[in-house]
Each structure stands twice: as structure tokens, then as C-alpha cells.
Structure 1
């Protein structure tokens, strides 16, 4: 949250200003995918090197869970083929996973629970059927989340130890 609330009195109004959506909003999950098309020359970069753009030649698409058999990654020839595309380029009409926001709240990042860390994508590590715990405080997934958080946000002044206020959004798949 920028700027950070000064005290808990401010918190009540912050969830109304969440820039990520409100309860009932629907969000599409963009995925890495393959599109049928080719790379075309597109002028020069600022450094004077050849710039390229992707040109889709039809509406065919494949996803990572069912990739095409032949993938064309060659930019040197203007030939059509299946080309892997980052999720940012997935058009809305091709989105397969839709989420509905069911809850928006504000809390301190250190309030995250072990279950919440798993929902964030942290995968517990096990050895011989026993969870690997790093320092014994909190859960293993929560600790891993703290390290991930610091790797992304500590340099910007919002590290785990600062315990910044964050927006928490809960979803359901629709």
C-alpha cells in the first residue's frame, strides 16, 4: 500500500481504495501460450540492432498443458509456426481461467498464515516425510514467503522486518 497508513484508524478506508479490484470483480488469469504466426522485422532498436515483432496469422492458440508438437522459435525467416508467447500477450478472448474477488482486506504482511503462504504459491519442502523447518519460528512456508517477500520488496523499503500494510484479496474460480 502506498502511501502506508499512519495508524490503524486509517485502515478502515483503505480497503475501499484497493487498486486491484473490489468484491465481485472478475479477473482473467493470463497464461504463457503458443500462437500460430511469425516474427517480422520491425525497424531498429535504439542501439541500432534489428527489432522484431510477432505477427499472429490466425486465431489458433495452444497452452502449456497441451503444447503443439512443432515449435518455431526462429526469427531469421518469415515462416509461420507455433511460437511461445509470454502471458502478458494473451488476449482476453483466449483466457480460460476466471476468478471472482470474494474478499478485500488490509493487513500487515507478517500476519500471513502457513495456509495463506501456500495459497500464494509457496510449496512446502519435505525430507524423509518430515517438513524441513529453517529456524523453528512459524511454518516452513511462511518462512519461505518471508524470504520471497524480501527478495522482491526489501530494496524498495517494504521488507519483511518493516511489516508493511498490504492488500489481501481472496478469490474463487468461476
Structure 2
């Protein structure tokens, strides 16, 4: 039986989902496996295990539990605001404004169930190293292509996101935002990924750390009948 569970996305990712560009997300596995990860197909769900060698030399399996399973329904928690009985979503407002008025947006983690407007059905879950991602998979994470002449292509989740990131981290780059813009979707995702990780955790979960992640694929769906 499928479950109905929440999942958090930031505003850029919500917009990518609404645009149909984002159909997969990666979440860090905690705690990180230290042994070999193995996959076994169970009766109803896929099962993941970490194989370790004990002090006696015997190999043993400990089950790894992904946060979501195929057929689960996820409702998206996003940045929101409520005025009277009406909910507003930052992802649906130009520059985060409502009728040209700044509002005090509330964080996604505090969004109530009743405000959910986006429903996603999990189609596949697997464990992998972060840097195993391909350009095709990076595009499915919401990365898009930009070009000025249909010959040279650059990549970012949005051009506005890249401009802001380039300004904030100017010491990392040597040229203009366009010159420094990633030339592959995978490279663009590496910058996006690190921007979501706390600085104190970069050594553990940042791009260069190449952590184990859950790759969760999904598709848009209707609000489930068993929703309450």
C-alpha cells in the first residue's frame, strides 16, 4: 500500500517541477554507508543493504531504509504565505512579490498539509554515489541549457540563479557570469548541490565528498483519494 509523505523543495526546484523539467531528486543517505551497498528485490518493494565485514571476518548485511519507496505519493512543501483563507506560493509569484507587495514568506518546513498543491508519485529509488550522475540525469534535476548563438551552450538551473551565485562567490571565478557559466549540466549541478549543503557539512556531503545519495525519480500525479 502506498504511503503519502511530505518532501521539501526550495523555490527554484518547485518552479522546475511546475515547468516539467525536474523529475528526479537526490537526497544524502544518513548515516553514510562504509561498506559495499547491495540491492535486493523483495516481494513488494526493493530493499537496500550495506554489506560489512565483522571483526571475525564474517560478512553481514544491515538494511538501509530509503525515505521513499516506489508508488509512494509525495506532497511538496514549499515556501508559502496565507492571507485569510487563501494560500500563496513564492514559486508562483514574480520575484516573490504579490501584487507588487513584499510579504513575509514562511519556510517550506512549516507549510501545513492542507496547503499542498503539488503531488508526485515515486517511480524508482536507488542508491548511488553523487558523482555518478550523468548530464542527462542532471537535466532531469532541473538544469537547463542557455545559448546565444545555438552553437555554444551553457547550463544552470536558471540564469538568474547563476548570476546571483556568481556575484556571491566572485573570488572563485575570473570572467563574466556568462564566461564562467558551466559548460555541462553535470558541472552546473555541482554548484547547485553545494549551495544546498551547510558549510560545516561540505566535507561530508558536498560535491567533492562524493557522498552516497538516494536517487528518487517521480512523476506528477493527482491528489490521492486517501489524503487527509
Match of 2:187 among 138, 143, 160: 143
What's the TM-score, normalizing by structure 1? 0.63
1:167 to 202, 214, 227: 214
Q: Look up the match of 1:3.
A: 31
**What is the root-mean-square deviation of aligned Cα atoms in Å?**
3.2
What secondary structure, in the 3-state scheme, does the structure 1 residue paired with 2:144 have? coil
How many angstroms does 1:156 deviate by?
Answer: 3.3
**Corresponding position: 1:34 with 2:64:** no
1:18 deviates by: 3.6
Bigger radius of gyration, 1 or 2? 1
User: In the aligned structure 1, how far is the partner of 2:183 from the partner of 2:67?
Assistant: 28
* Preserved contact between residue 18 and residue 167 of structure 1 (Cα < 8 Å): no
CA distance in 2, matches of 1:85, 1:162: 32
User: Partners of 1:140 and 1:22 in 2: how far apart?
Assistant: 30
Number of aligned residue pairs: give it. Answer: 140
Distance 2:188 2:86 in 1: 39
Question: Structure 2: 5+ residue runs without aligned partners?
Answer: 1-28, 40-47, 51-62, 156-177, 222-228
Where do 5+ consecutive residues of structure 1 fail to align? 37-57, 74-82
The structural deviation recorded for 1:68 is 4.6
Q: Of 116, 127, 131, which residue of structure 1 is paired with 2:153?
A: 131
